[in-house]
Structure formats: C-alpha cells, structure tokens
C-alpha cells in the first residue's frame, strides 16, 4: 500500500494563507499519510517576549534548558494543535504527536564535542517504534509530528524536522510503499539560487556529485538531499522536494518539484 | 474489563516532587488507564511574562484569543509533553492528547449569555468519539489528556479538566468497568475545610443533600461532586476523590479518600 510522509517547513508554518491552502491540499490526499511540521519563527518571537535569547554557535542554534521548554510549548503545543484543529475542520482525522508520544521516536542527546548543542536529539533508526504509529494509521488517523523527540529519561529533545521525516519514512517502508515529500517555499532544488524557476527535476547520486563539484547548490538544501539519499538507500520508494503549493500534483503521480532517486 | 480514568489537578502539576511520586504510582497501576491533567499556575506565570493578563468576571476566568493560544502552548505543549516524557521514563507507554486529536472531544464554544467566557468549550457527551480512544487503549497505550477541546471549525477551546474526566469516563463505560478518580491536594471531601483529616469516606445523593443543607462543603468541591454524580448516573461504576499521594491505594481496592456512589 502507498503511504505519503510529508514534511512542511517552518516558512510555510509562518505564512497563514500558504499554510491554510497547504492543509486543504493535504486533507484531500487519499490514503494513509503522515505529516511532519517544522517550527517556524514563532518560537523565536515568543522567546524574545519571554526574554529567552536565541543562541547560535557557528551559525547553529543551541537548545539550552529554557529553549527546549520554549520549543516544547510552541512546536508541540501551539503549532501542532493549531495544525491538528485545522485538519479536523477539513475532515482529516489528525492526531498531533511528538517523538515522546507512544515512544515512537526515542533519541540520544547529542554528545558534546567541539560544540555543546544542548537538548538536541539524534535519532537512531533502529530505535524507532513503528508499531504504534502503524496502529494509528490502521484506524484511519493522520499522525502530525512536531520536531521533538525525547531521551527516554524524561527529557524532551529538539530534533530537525527533515531528519524526523526521513527516519519515519524509512521505518514505515517496512510496511508501505513510502513516498517522502519535502514541502517548502521553493519549487524544488534550484540550479541557480537566484532563479526560482531553475528547478532541477531529477537528481540521482551521479548528478548530485556533479552539482556538488559545480558548487551550484545552496547550503540549506544539502542536508535535505543527504536525508533524501539516506531514505532511498534504506527502502523509501521515492523522495520529492517541492513547493508547499504543489503538494497536490506531487501526491498524484506528476512531479512538480525535484525527484530524488 | 476494569479501566481507571484518573484526573490530576493543577496544584499537583505545580508541585514537582508530588507530581513525580504521583506519576510513579500511576505508572505502577496495572491494566488500561487514562490520565487527564489540569493546567496549574504555570500558564498564569508564563502569561504574565508575555504580557497576557488573566481576566476574570465574577471570579471565573475568561479565555480571550491570547489566552487560548497561551493555554494551548502551556497545557497542550509544555505540561502535557513533560508528563508524557516522565511517564515514558517510568516505562508507561503514554501518548499525549488534546480533545482535538483524533477528534475525540469535539466541543461547542460556550454561548454568550450574561458573561462571554471567550474560547471555552462545553462538551456534549453524545458527540464524543470513543472509538479512536479505545483503539489507543487496545494497543496498550496510556492516553494523557490536556484540558483542551476544539470546535471542529479549527479553533481550540479551553475545557475544565474535571469535566473532560467525567465525560471520558462516561463514554468509556460502554466498553469497560470504569473507576473515575479525582486526585488533588486534599485527602478527600472534607467535613471541615480547616481540618485535613475530616474526610467523608462515603457520599451518596442522600448524604450529599444533607451536606448541602448543612453548608459544610467548600465551593471548589461542588462541581467535582456534580461531575461525579453525573458520571455514576451515566454508567461509571465508581468515583473516588482523594489525594494524589493516595492514588496507589485508590486503584487497588482500598479507599483512602471519598467514595461517591
């Protein structure tokens, strides 16, 4: 059976009109599906009002104790439940989750090497508990994940939404033909970051190596592509990277973005 | 089959040591169980830091637009996921929910009469969706509810945790022998509000009428008792009101608090 694992980025979460039309398209997707949402800037805004400073080392966000509570509130509470309530209004029977719920995504607090990232969770694919997730899908629910995991010792952890998406897609590929779709605010992987229409429609390992050599890819897209190749090598049928507004075509057989294979 | 529906109040949520020992006792309860937690004062504290004023009319809290976002974050995110993560650490396979998730508790925004309570949800027992909740219990999960519902149109609503507990207990009584337990920071219903040891061990309708006549009951306990009688008249086997520290005895056949029948 086919199943879509769909990740929607923080920039879409931050744009109410785009989010609403994305959720409409998502609700219309037939068959089993799983949504993973990013966080968006709302945690930073609420954090500023609470006097919680965003800390970065070498451009990477550090999740200190105040920040993990902040993102647990904002991503796991506000954003997740608003997405669920909107999907329910669209007659999509959503259930909002973090990786702590039903222990679906246990993680390991990232070991401190040069940088102490704080309460950031790394996922070991082998540790995923797919059975309860499959039980939810089997009764017709649409799981909606916030980008949070836990360490099994009572501590919530901050985990990249792209990584959660590829991990769940990989785990679910034991039971389904999984299509993993990354939805963001670009039409796909761009040949030229300045030109929104320069979408590369197909990327395989060989093309990827050439693109890396030519240094045309933007830094932001590299982890997405690494996650995509890792997913495909672990059993996911197909990975698509495209615009949130194109999720309808990207779930109906046509490819409006970039297909990774 | 026996099932416990256990509600733990905000005062316990606000007391880390009491909460931790309560969760340990809860994790040790055998068989299917559902937890409903209150909010506690943390929403007020975070609200103050965010400049969200707590508004009351005639002593009753008003949930305006800023407040429903606040409690969705704090109760549905921070408190709910911290409880779930702690239960997971205690090997209790918890799954955190609001009434919007799986559409288990649709509600109606309270009609404006003398007072506009704002985004407060009233539950119609007939509208509850118990099937997805039973599916979670059937795979061995322990559902943990925050005191939130939704209106089915995309809006989250604030709903009293005691009412959620009695509604779920009633709905589940079609499938289980339900014991509903209200855990708070008193040993039970007190004959004398000043004397913590003046627990009334048994209350039926007749005794309740007499206590009301004598005006010995505190205002706070009246809605709990009304909820308790409503639950029993709708099929719940037994309602207990007791201290959070007594949940172990109250789930093992002895009665350490007040039994309502």
> Could you report the per-residue pLDDT of B204-245, keeping only the tens digit for each?
999 999 999 998 888 888 888 998 999 999 999 999 999 999
Name the 3-class secondary structure at B173: coil
Q: Cβ contact (<8 Å) for B95 and A75? A: no
Which of the residue ranges A32-36, A43-47, A252-256, B53-57 has the most confident prediction, judged by mean pLDDT?
A: A32-36
Between A and B, how many residue pairs show a Cβ–Cβ distance under 8 A?
Answer: 139
> Residue B50 is nearest to which of A50, A84, A132, comparing CB atoms?
A50
Q: What is the mean pLDDT of residues A202-207?
A: 95
Q: Which residues of B are annotated as a binding site for substrate?
A: 39-40, 61, 158
Q: Cβ contact (<8 Å) for B135 and A139? A: yes
Question: Residue length, chain A?
Answer: 261
Percent of chain B at pLDDT exceeding 70 = 100
Distance CA A36, CA A186 (A): 18
Q: Cβ contact (<8 Å) for B154 and A88? A: yes
Helix (H) or strand (E) segment spanning residue B239: strand B238-243
Q: Cβ contact (<8 Å) for A77 and B82? A: no
Distance CA A161, CA B36 (A): 28
Q: What is the mean pLDDT of residues A39-47?
A: 91
Which single residue is written with the structure tokens 């086919």?
A2
Name the 3-class secondary structure at A256: coil
How many beta carbons lie within 10 A of that of residue B246, not counting itself? 20
Q: Which CATH number fits domain B2-260: 3.40.1160.10, 3.30.110.70, 3.30.360.10, 3.40.50.300?
A: 3.40.1160.10
Q: Which of A71, A154, A158 to probe by mutation at the B interface, max B CB count within 10 Å?
A: A154
The tokens describing A164, both together, are 């959660």
Q: Which of B157, B130, B135, B154 is nearest to B146 (CA)?
A: B157
All structural domains of chain A with their residue ranges: 2-260
B→A interface, C-beta within 8 Å: 46, 49-51, 69, 72-78, 80-82, 84-86, 88-89, 93-98, 100-103, 131-132, 135-136, 139, 141, 148, 150, 152-156
Pair B183, B243: CB distance under 8 Å:
yes
Q: Cβ contact (<8 Å) for A81 and B98? A: yes
Tens of pLDDT, residue by residue over A101-138, are: 999 999 999 999 989 999 999 998 778 999 999 999 99
Chain A residues closer than 8 Å to B135 by CB: 135-136, 139
Write down the pLDDT at residue A124: 86
């Amino acid at each position: 059976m086919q199943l879509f694992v769909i990740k929607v980025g923080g920039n879409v979460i931050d744009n109410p009109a785009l989010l609403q039309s994305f959720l409409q398209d998502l609700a219309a997707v037939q068959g089993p599906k799983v949504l993973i949402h990013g966080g968006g800037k709302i945690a930073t805004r609420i954090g500023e009002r609470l006097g919680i400073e965003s800390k970065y080392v070498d451009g990477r966000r550090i999740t200190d104790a105040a920040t993990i509570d902040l993102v647990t509130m904002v991503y796991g509470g506000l954003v997740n439940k608003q997405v669920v309530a909107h999907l329910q209004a669209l007659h999509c029977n959503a259930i909002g989750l973090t990786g702590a719920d039903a222990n679906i995504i246990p993680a390991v607090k990232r070991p401190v090497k040069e940088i102490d990232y704080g309460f950031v969770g790394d996922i070991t694919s082998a540790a995923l508990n797919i059975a309860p997730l499959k039980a939810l899908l089997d009764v017709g629910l649409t799981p909606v994940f916030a980008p949070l995991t836990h360490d099994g010792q009572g501590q919530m952890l901050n985990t990249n939404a792209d990584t959660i998406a590829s991990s769940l897609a990989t785990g679910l590929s034991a039971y389904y033909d999984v299509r993993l779709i990354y939805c963001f605010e670009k039409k796909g992987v761009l040949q030229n970051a300045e030109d929104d229409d320069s979408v590369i429609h197909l990327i395989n390992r060989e093309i990827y190596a050439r693109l890396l050599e030519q240094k045309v890819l933007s830094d932001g897209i590299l982890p997405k592509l690494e996650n995509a190749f890792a997913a495909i090598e672990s059993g996911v049928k197909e990975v698509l990277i495209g615009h949130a507004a194109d999720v309808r075509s990207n779930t109906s057989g046509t490819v409006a973005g970039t297909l990774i294979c």
